[in-house]
Amino acid sequence: MAKINDNYLKLPGSYLFSTVAKKSAAYSEAHPDKNVIKMSIGDVTKPLAPAVIEAMHKAVDEMANAETFRGYGPEQGYDFLREKIAEFDYKARGIDIAVDEIFVSDGAKSDCGNIGDIFSVDNKVAICDPVYPVYMDTNAMAGRAGDYVDGKWNNIYYMPCLEENGFLPQLPKEKVDIIYLCFPNNPLGVAATREQLKPWVDYAKENGAVILYDSAYEAFITNPNVPHSIYEVEGAKEVAIEFRSFSKTAGFTGTRCAYTVIPHELKLDGVELNSLWNRRHTTKFNGVPYIIQRAAEAVYTPEGQAQTKEAIAYYLENARIIREGLTEAGFTVYGGENAPYIWAKTPNGMGSWEFFDKLLEEANVVTTPGEGFGPSGEGYVRLTAFSTKENTIEAMRRIKELVK
Ligand code: MLT
């Protein structure tokens, strides 16, 4: 008889954002008169930039002509896009990344989830707590997390990110092989400086570990001491894989385009991880659609740059409104200065799901309960700055009213 991958049976409940969406949909269905404001999943609300739309239309027209039509493209992405990425996202910051070190994909979520394919199941994995649930869940699916006992995976090295440490993880006290880091951080909204990242690169070098660096929110960085790429830290090319996305940078959450960087210097036992990922990518993926890659390329035009920066500024302004609004309402809040996420302490030690329910039912505002991101998230909720400005202002008004 065929056997299932029973690691899936060990997974607790459903994917966090599906649970939140289900709860909010059930509430809306039962209360159709209520205007529910979603500040839960980090999904953008502003339309794609005009430069992006224009490039997309042009690419659609090309697909209508036999001379310009494109079928299968290179699995790793078209050079026109990879060259722009290398130039604008790396060379402009003094980082030398070759085109063949860049793999264009349909999302950082997919890549963060799939990267485990090239690592042995025997690796010891270190993951922040709280964390973007994809890292934890995909390691559990692969059988690398052990068993889920009392709310924790017993083979994962948890790195608690707590208030007393400015919500930054501490270096592992035991030897680990793979380390997931995400800065600016989802869900905490905090960011690490170059100096704070250097010990991680040193640790990885000393221990033969690999850092999986999720930089999906780099466009929101305002502090010049926060690096946009892990490769701004000396030596990182020998130890780190970086994940980037157009989702939050340019509003591509529904359009799907991202990329992963694996430098040739990164080797384990003399084997380049770049070549393993290339093997995996070419076998399991057939490339992002031409139309979408042309749209992503347009992000790097002068118009595209200006228009996407404007959208980021809009969301950062929402983040400021949330920070100030919640602070005025008496909450303790973190993040939101270099990231689109605000991490707010629940009042009077209330549980995060309990506070989530209260905000949903009494203020009609949907947040994400901190506990959903891991045990150390208990006692917090996450709010996103991706709503419209009007809804952000209205949500703050309702929350202030609620706690008055
Ligand atoms: C989030 O809300 O954490 C993100 O939108 C999820 C994602 O990017 O997949």
The finding on whether 203 has its CB within 6 A of some atom of ligand 1 is no
Query: What pLDDT does 144 receive?
Result: 98
Q: Rounded to an integer, what distance in angstroms lies between the CA atom of residue 365 and that of residue 121? A: 40
User: 65 C-alpha to center of ligand 1: Å?
Assistant: 37
The ligand 1 atom nearest the CA atom of 248 = 8
The one-letter amino acid code at 311 reads A
In sequence order, the β-bridge partners of residue 267 are 272
Query: What pLDDT does 14 receive?
Result: 83
Query: What pLDDT does 229 receive?
Result: 98
Helix, strand and coil percent figures for the chain, each rounded to 5: 45, 15, 40
In eight-state DSSP terms, residue 86 is I
Contact by Cβ (8 Å): 234, 262: no
Query: What pLDDT does 172 receive?
Result: 98
Please name which of 185, 178, 183, 177 lies closest in space to residue 197, comparing C-alpha atoms: 183
Site to probe by mutation for ligand 1, drawn from 18, 132, 137, 253 as the one with most ligand atoms within 8 Å of Cβ, is: 132
User: 293 C-alpha to center of ligand 1: Å?
Assistant: 21
User: 43 C-alpha to center of ligand 1: Å?
Assistant: 7
User: 207 C-alpha to center of ligand 1: Å?
Assistant: 31
The one-letter amino acid code at 247 reads S
Strands (E), 88-147: 102-105, 125-129
List, in order, residues 6 or more apart from 389 with CB less than 8 Å away: 314, 317, 318, 321
pLDDT in tens, 219-238: 999 999 999 999 999 999 99
Q: Rounded to an integer, what distance in angstroms lies between the CA atom of residue 395 and that of residue 243? A: 32
Strands (E), 71-223: 102-105, 125-129, 148-149, 152-153, 156-160, 178-182, 210-214
Site to probe by mutation for ligand 1, drawn from 41, 217, 366 as the one with most ligand atoms within 8 Å of Cβ, is: 41
Q: Rounded to an integer, what distance in angstroms lies between the CA atom of residue 52 and that of residue 257? A: 13
Query: What pLDDT does 13 receive?
Result: 82
The ligand 1 atom nearest the CA atom of 40 = 2
Q: Cα angle at 255 between 254 and 259, to 5 degrees? A: 115
User: 41 C-alpha to center of ligand 1: Å?
Assistant: 6
Query: What pLDDT does 15 receive?
Result: 85
User: 132 C-alpha to center of ligand 1: Å?
Assistant: 7
Query: What pLDDT does 270 receive?
Result: 97
pLDDT mean values, one per 10 residues, the chain (404 residues): 97 89 96 96 96 98 98 98 98 98 98 98 98 97 97 97 97 98 98 98 98 98 98 98 98 98 98 98 98 98 98 98 98 98 96 97 97 96 98 98 90
The ligand 1 atom nearest the CA atom of 17 = 2
DSSP string, 174-213: S--SEEEEESS-TTT-----HHHHHHHHHHHHHHT-EEEE
State the virtual CA torsion across 298, 274, 248, 137 in degrees, nearest 10.
150
Query: What pLDDT does 269 receive?
Result: 96
Task: Count Cβ atoms below 10 Å from residue 2 Cβ, excluding itself.
Answer: 3
User: 226 C-alpha to center of ligand 1: Å?
Assistant: 21
The finding on whether 42 has its CB within 6 A of some atom of ligand 1 is yes
Query: What pLDDT does 404 receive?
Result: 83
| ω into 302 cis (within 30 of 0) | no
The finding on whether 386 has its CB within 6 A of some atom of ligand 1 is no
Residue nearest atom 1 of ligand 1, based on CA coordinates: 42
User: 316 C-alpha to center of ligand 1: Å?
Assistant: 17
